[in-house]
Structure 1
Amino acid sequence: MHRSIATVSLSGTLRQKLEAISAAGFDGFELFEADFVNFRGGAAELGRIASDLGLSIDLYQPFRDFEGMPEAQFRRSLERAERKFDLMEAMGAPLMLCCSNTSPLAIDGPARAAAQLHELAERAARRKLRVGFEALAWGRFTSLYGQAWNIVRQADHPNLGLILDSFHTLSLKDDPVGIAAIPGDKIFFLQMADAPLLSMDVLQWARHHRSFPGQGDLDVIGFFEQVLRAGYTGPLSLEIFNDLFRETPNRRTAVDAMRSLLYLESEAQRRLASTADTPARAQPVELFSPPPVPALSGLSFIEFAADEASARTLGMLLEQLGFHRVGRHRSKAVELYRQGEINLIVNAQPDSFARSRFEAHGTSVCALGVRCADPLAAVDRATAMRSQRHDSPVGPNELRVPAIVAPGGNLIHFVSEALGTNGLYEADFILEEDAAADASGAGLTQIDHVALGLALDQLDTWVLFTRAVLGLEPGESLELADPFGLIRSRGVANADRSVRLVLNVSLSQRTRTARTLSVTGGGAVHHIALRCEDIFESVERLRAAGTRFVPISDNYYDDLATRIDLDPALLARMRTAGVLFDRSPAGDYLHIYTENIEGGLFFELAQRTAGYDAYGALNAPARMASQAQE
């Protein structure tokens, strides 16, 4: 499919935007008029630049406040259109976007709008150009795609067609099913945009909070499916108005943009293939078809990067948490610690990728290992979705574990399920004689979830990455109160919840999360939650071993008793232990946090009961407030 993006979606000068668009592999772009107005060059020069970069200029936009106007204003607008046609001819743009009128001078009446658009299309046809009419969600009289299609049909001109935008339809909760009945050749252009669900004026929502498909909450896949059912064969484009994207480095944004279109195409193709009533014209274009989403079955290991001194300190802390050092790598300064099914790797190898990427940030998590059925297919999907493959050096008889680079530089290794519980570690480590024995330690059994602290402009990137590459689905977005600002938090997980990540960004520069980011360089694991079966027994053992936990105010427990009907004995036990509590209709969650280690990293102990499926987010303010009072 011909893939395009609007220049308004990226930061930078017009030339910088086009270079980023080309580098990301797009075929063309929509030229936003303001970008050209401020370009220090002419239309013909822009056409040459685009051609040199291998890009087509697919659309010139927007042409505003045209249809349904009084005669005098209509005539002036025709002359205005002629000047735009001059530019389009010079630069080689074949299509102009005319958006529905928002002017207070506009006159209601589809017949008048159709007649005036017919005249505009006639003038475009004399120059072998076309006009697309789009319904703005805040259009004065035309806000729905069905209204716009009715006007285009009445205008009845071969050079006038419909332009569809997913945001304008889905933000108004208009049903896109009717799109499938529109002739595909009368849909001249398709713009896609996702968005988080927000309660605000649609104009402000549209101009500041759109996102790429797969980053928001709208059913963009269902919308695209209906356009394909119509038989559409034109460009698939992105038009994203987002304040953060205007600040983010445009090369990174362009890669996210391409990944979003590939994800959109692959998901739409999957839906069409699984639908028995798909008409023959539903897929007249070839859609992107990557390897399937990997079937992940849990976290195999977490790897820390540390210098020699930090590695010793971390090792002592892990032993204090009940872990046992069970092996040393055959060829590197890397040690393996284990408790239950949890494997933690401490990498102090001076010339490793982990050390070179993270050594300036103290002790940091540098890699995650995830179990899956087909690691090579998982990497193939990731690279197809524009992630970078990583090949670590291996010694004799050591296993090569396929890996990719996640946003921000961490590695994700795909560990074959065929290796079983211990196959990877038997191959790569010299294990202690009792390494295979069950080391219960403090009763910690498995990794519950991993929480990342991200720069504000990385949240959408990570949501899309985990969705498109790893097949995780995002949960509800929450805002949590730190004493010095707000933290936005969103969990992502696979269907069976064997892999869970929590993505956190700070809306303030003064929160603990923000300060940790300044130390780690922006984007890192800030805490690891470890599952246990009896949190009180585990806490008792760990306190006896010297583990220090974040103290929780007595006021928290007094308030908890007023909010939740709890057994007084359980409440007293939680108060004594410093354990926090959350309840959902499906089950309970008991958890406690350790104090920080180097680099701001800390651990959480968690006990889930029944079907509890969240992360105790309501208790995060108690933890952050306590940490702020240290």
Structure 2
Amino acid sequence: MRRTIATVSLSGTLPEKLEAIAAARFDGIELFENDFVNYKGSAAEVRSMVADLGLTIDLYQPFRDFEGMPEAQYQRSLERAERKFDLMQELDVSMVLCCSNTSPLVIDDPELAAAQLHELATRAAARNLRVGFEALAWGRKTNLYGQAWEIVRRADHPHLGLILDSFHTLSLKDDPAGIADIPGHKIFFLQMADAPLLSMDVLQWARHYRSFPGQGQFDMATFLEQVLLAGYTGPLSLEIFNDVFRETPNRRIAVDAMRSLLYLESQVRQSLENSAPRDDTREKQRQRVLQRIELYSPPALPDIAGLAYIEFAADEASGEAFGKLLLQLGFRRAGKHRSKAVVLYRQGDVNLIVNAQPNSFARRRFDTHGLSVCAIAVRTTDPERAVGRATAMQSKRYDGPVGPSEQQVPAVVSPGGSLVSFVSSALGPNGLYEADFILDDEEDGAPDAGLEHIDHVALGLAVDQLDTWILFSRAVLGLEPGESLELADPFGLVQSRGVANADRSMRLVLNVSPGQRTRTARTVAAGGGVTVHHIALSSHDIFDSVARLRASGTRFVPISPNYYDDLLTRVDIDPGLLAKMRSAGVLFDRSPAGDYLHIYTESINDGLFFEIVQRVNAYDGYGAANAPARMAAQAQKQGQEVGNG
């Protein structure tokens, strides 16, 4: 399919937008009127600039408040249209978007609307132009695609067709199934926009919170599938109004945009290939789509089987200090890399790597931020397929230097610059480390603390990285997002959202803060926009683990006694368990599926910290209800240290 994007979707001047769109390998654009009006060059210059970049202008938009108007206003609108057509011919664009009327003067008369649109199409045809009619979700008389199609059908003009927009349909919870019954040749253009599910005025929702497919919560694949079943063969376009996107560097947003379309196409292709025929008509439609439309077909999603290791970038001093902390946490210094200044620490199934190799990718990219996580490695049966999937979805491959007999671990650069590496499951729990490290079986440091595996990794993100990471998690790693939550920090709000695979062997938590004073915002700023916020390690007996860790000198964030008094008012909890939690400083959360016990270590230089967790039964959250208690305790602890200093 041809892939296009509306210029309103990106930040920057018109030339900057066009360059970003071309760099992301789009085929064409929707030229938004304001982008042209505010550009200092002529229509001929814009046409030439677009062509020089290998693009086409597939749609000019919008033309507003036309159909169903009283005669005087209708005649003036025809004059407006003629001027618009003059400009379109200068730009070499053959279609204009006419959106449904929002004027208080509009008359509720589909026959009148059809007649007026027929005349508009007749005038467009005289110039070999076409008019696409779109139902706005906030249109005064026409806001559903079925209403718009009825008007187009009545108008019965070959140069008048329907423009469909997923946001306008799905935001109103209108059923897209009927689209498949519309003649495909009468659907002139298709715009796709996802969005989070919000309870607010639809106009404000549309103008500020749209997102690319895969970043929101709409069923985009079903919508596109219905349009293709109708027989549509035109461009697949994006029209996104989003305040954050307007402030974000447009090259990254353009890459996200292309990734979203490739991901969406692959979802629909898979659905069409695997769907069982419901009736003869739909089966013929399905076969026709598969034969006529070339939908994107990337390598399959990786079958992730948990986290293999987490790698930290550090200079010699910070690496040594961090190593001492890990020994205190019950890790052992398990080995030294055969060819690099890299050390492996292990406990249970947790593998942490500290990279102090001069001039390595880790040091070049992250050393300026002190101790930082530079790579997260996942286990998968086919690492090359996983990397192939990632690069097909617009991620950059990274291959680091490999010494004799060492394992090649393919990786890709994630949003923000850290690596996601893919380790073959066939290597087993030790194969990679036996190949790359000189292993040391001697026990050193504190006794094992009973920490078994990495439960989840929490990332702190700049606000403009959240949608990017949700799409990356879905399209590249196959992780699906959970509920979006707002958490109260003493200095602002933190938005938190978990992403995980189906069997929960890999979980990430994405945290952003719109303000600048929260702990999340400060650590993100120090980490250059993306940082690992904390790492959660699982224990089957959290009280035993905490006792061992305290004995070895590990310091935990102190929790207010008031927390435990309040817990009794909120949860029906065994008094004995409550007493143990109070004594140990452990927090508690409960869902219908199970319980969650957890505790946080003090942070390293007001940055990274660890969480010790125990999941009981099928608890599937992250203890979000306790985040305010943790953040308040951290803020109070920092205040005490500043005061004592």
The TM tier, using the shorter chain, reads: over 0.9
Q: What is the CA-CA distance between 1:353 and the residue it aligns to?
A: 0.2
- 1:444 equivalent in structure 2: 451
- 1:209 equivalent in structure 2: 209
Structure 2 residue matching 1:213: 3-state secondary structure: coil
Choose 318-327 or 517-526, whichever is displaced more.
517-526
CA distance in 2, matches of 1:268, 1:483: 44
| Equivalent pair of 1:519/1:599 in contact (CA under 8 Å) | no
Deviations 1:301-332 (A, max 9, x none): 00000000001000000000000001000000
Pairwise mapping of residues 472-621 of structure 1 onto structure 2 (< 5 A)?
472-598=479-605, 600-621=607-628
So what's the TM-score if we normalise by structure 2? Answer: 0.96
Deviant stretches of 4+, over 4 Å? none
* 2:274 matches 1:274: yes
* 2:385 matches 1:365: no
Deviations 1:454-480 (A, max 9, x none): 000100000000000000000000000
**Residue of structure 1 aligned with 2:363, choices 350, 355, 363:** 355
CA distance in 1, matches of 2:583, 2:447: 24
CA distance in 1, matches of 2:524, 2:485: 20
CA distance in 2, matches of 1:37, 1:293: 43
| Equivalent pair of 1:59/1:95 in contact (CA under 8 Å) | yes
Q: What is the CA-CA distance between 1:282 and the residue it aligns to?
A: 3.1
- 1:627 equivalent in structure 2: 634
CA distance in 2, matches of 1:249, 1:393: 31
Cα RMSD for the two superposed structures: 1.0
- 2:139 equivalent in structure 1: 139
CA distance in 2, matches of 1:275, 1:526: 41
Q: What is the CA-CA distance between 1:235 and the residue it aligns to?
A: 0.3
* 2:46 matches 1:38: no
CA distance in 2, matches of 1:522, 1:507: 13
- 1:412 equivalent in structure 2: 420
Pairwise mapping of residues 446-461 of structure 1 onto structure 2 (< 5 A)?
446-461=453-468
Structure 1 residue matching 2:324: 3-state secondary structure: helix
- 1:80 equivalent in structure 2: 80
| Equivalent pair of 1:7/1:17 in contact (CA under 8 Å) | yes
**What code does the residue aligned with 1:355 have?**
R
Q: What is the CA-CA distance between 1:285 and the residue it aligns to?
A: 1.3
- 1:304 equivalent in structure 2: 312
- 1:55 equivalent in structure 2: 55
Deviations 1:82-138 (A, max 9, x none): 111111111111100000000011111110000000000011111111000000000
Structure 1 residue matching 2:246: 3-state secondary structure: coil
* Distance of aligned partners of 1:567 and 1:181 in 2 relative to their CA distance in 1, 3 Å threshold: same
CA distance in 1, matches of 2:289, 2:370: 54
Q: What is the CA-CA distance between 1:276 and the residue it aligns to?
A: 2.0
Structure 2 residue matching 1:488: 3-state secondary structure: strand
Deviations 1:319-350 (A, max 9, x none): 00000001000000000000001000000001
Pairwise mapping of residues 120-139 of structure 1 onto structure 2 (< 5 A)?
120-139=120-139
CA distance in 1, matches of 2:227, 2:543: 56
Q: What is the CA-CA distance between 1:181 and the residue it aligns to?
A: 0.3
Pairwise mapping of residues 193-342 of structure 1 onto structure 2 (< 5 A)?
193-277=193-277, 278=283, 279=285, 280-283=287-290, 284-342=292-350
**What code does the residue aligned with 1:142 have?**
T
- 2:641 equivalent in structure 1: none
Q: What is the CA-CA distance between 1:434 and the residue it aligns to?
A: 5.0
CA distance in 2, matches of 1:536, 1:505: 31
Q: What is the CA-CA distance between 1:433 and the residue it aligns to?
A: 3.6
CA distance in 2, matches of 1:237, 1:333: 49
Structure 1 residue matching 2:617: 3-state secondary structure: coil
Structure 1 residue matching 2:247: 3-state secondary structure: coil
Q: What is the CA-CA distance between 1:211 and the residue it aligns to?
A: 0.3
Q: Percent of aligned positions with the same letter in both sequences? A: 74
Deviations 1:543-562 (A, max 9, x none): 01000000000000000011
Q: What is the CA-CA distance between 1:21 and the residue it aligns to?
A: 0.3
Q: What is the CA-CA distance between 1:371 and the residue it aligns to?
A: 0.2
| Equivalent pair of 1:363/1:599 in contact (CA under 8 Å) | no
CA distance in 1, matches of 2:381, 2:233: 36
Deviations 1:428-459 (A, max 9, x none): 00001458x9x971000000000000000100
- 1:422 equivalent in structure 2: 430
- 2:410 equivalent in structure 1: 402
| Equivalent pair of 1:520/1:599 in contact (CA under 8 Å) | no
| Equivalent pair of 1:339/1:440 in contact (CA under 8 Å) | no
CA distance in 1, matches of 2:524, 2:149: 49
CA distance in 2, matches of 1:271, 1:518: 41
* 2:175 matches 1:172: no
* Distance of aligned partners of 1:162 and 1:440 in 2 relative to their CA distance in 1, 3 Å threshold: farther
**What code does the residue aligned with 2:559 have?**
I
CA distance in 2, matches of 1:241, 1:359: 37
Structure 2 residue matching 1:396: 3-state secondary structure: coil
Deviations 1:385-411 (A, max 9, x none): 000000100111111101000000010
Structure 1 residue matching 2:34: 3-state secondary structure: helix
Query: Unpaired segments of 5 or more residues in structure 1?
Result: none
| Equivalent pair of 1:590/1:606 in contact (CA under 8 Å) | yes
- 1:388 equivalent in structure 2: 396
CA distance in 2, matches of 1:433, 1:307: 25
CA distance in 1, matches of 2:175, 2:217: 16
| Equivalent pair of 1:265/1:288 in contact (CA under 8 Å) | yes
**What code does the residue aligned with 1:329 have?**
H
- 2:642 equivalent in structure 1: none
CA distance in 2, matches of 1:372, 1:17: 38
* Distance of aligned partners of 1:299 and 1:440 in 2 relative to their CA distance in 1, 3 Å threshold: farther
Query: Unpaired segments of 5 or more residues in structure 2?
Result: 278-282, 638-645
Q: What is the CA-CA distance between 1:598 and the residue it aligns to?
A: 3.3
Structure 1 residue matching 2:477: 3-state secondary structure: coil
CA distance in 1, matches of 2:605, 2:350: 21
**What code does the residue aligned with 2:337 have?**
H
Structure 2 residue matching 1:502: 3-state secondary structure: strand
| Equivalent pair of 1:326/1:336 in contact (CA under 8 Å) | yes
| Equivalent pair of 1:96/1:131 in contact (CA under 8 Å) | yes
| Equivalent pair of 1:364/1:599 in contact (CA under 8 Å) | no
CA distance in 1, matches of 2:441, 2:474: 41
